[in-house]
A = this chain, B = another copy of it.
């Protein structure tokens, strides 16, 4: 499930990190909560700027280090940007992304809708692909590329 939009207090994150064998530091807490509260998947630099603004005396290198640690421990995933820089996402499920051609932004399809699409994928075809190619599918990532015909409802 997505952690988006949940309250994330320090204790909760502490035990989450603990469960993933990640040391708790104020920087990691800051990065993780900043990432998890984003509706649009941010780049490392966007996170750094956001954190610089809000307070926290955190360095860019640490943002990169932390994101890497989060990804390695399964608390985040790194998404390929169509453009230059990588984007990060605090949710680790299969899910759907929307790329807005106009702005280049990358965001989620709401959970329910996304799940509906994933649930309706033709499993027999996926199975056939696995069999014929000798490939084991671990994750399916779908990106819907296009543009908004009306204004998106809310922006961070």
Stretch at the interface among A16-24, A34-42, A49-57, A124-132: A124-132
How many copies, total?
Answer: 2
- Establish whether residues A147 and B143, one from each chain, have CB atoms under 8 Å apart when the complex forms: no
Chain A 54-90 interface mask (CB, 8 Å, partner B; 1/0): 0000000000000000000000001111110000000
Where the two chains meet, the residues of A that have a C-beta atom closer than 8 Å to any C-beta of B are: 78-83, 96, 98, 100-101, 109-110, 113, 116-117, 120-122, 125-126, 128-129, 132-152
Q: Residue of B at shortest CB range from A117? A: B125
| B residues near A110, Cβ cutoff 8 Å | 132-133
* Contact A140:B135 (CB < 8 A) given known A80-B82, A125-B116, A129-B117: no
